[in-house]
Amino acid sequence: MLATSVVDWNALGQVVLYSLAAGVGVPAVYALAVLGAARSTDPQRRGGSSSAVYAIIAFVGGAICLAAIAYGIYLMTQKG
């Protein structure tokens, strides 16, 4: 089998899995951050406890997205 000797299937599977997780996970977290930001500023919710919960969701989601970006830059700048 030529493909078995040329392709490291384990490494390829890991790349596909991590790419799928990053490609779906980070946008999903960003969508939650946008939802939290939009709902926290809703005039009907202003002053309630749900407004604070949505603001926390927006903050945490934004922080996770920024951390993912920073980690990606860190990985790209490493040699190896």
Residue 42 makes CB contacts below 8 A (sequence gap 6+) with 51
Residue 45 placed within a domain: yes
Residue 38 placed within a domain: yes
What does the pLDDT read at residue 7? 85
Residue 31 placed within a domain: yes
Residue 65 placed within a domain: yes
Residue 7 placed within a domain: no
Q: State the CB neighbour count (10 A cutoff) for residue 32.
A: 18
Do residues 67 and 33 touch, judged by C-beta distance below 8 A? no
Residue 27 placed within a domain: yes
DSSP 8-state secondary structure symbol assigned to residue 7: -
| Residue-range definition of the domain harbouring residue 60 | 20-77
Looking at per-residue pLDDT, the higher value among 77 and 8 belongs to: 77
22-49 per-position pLDDT tens digit: 999 999 999 999 999 998 887 665 666 7
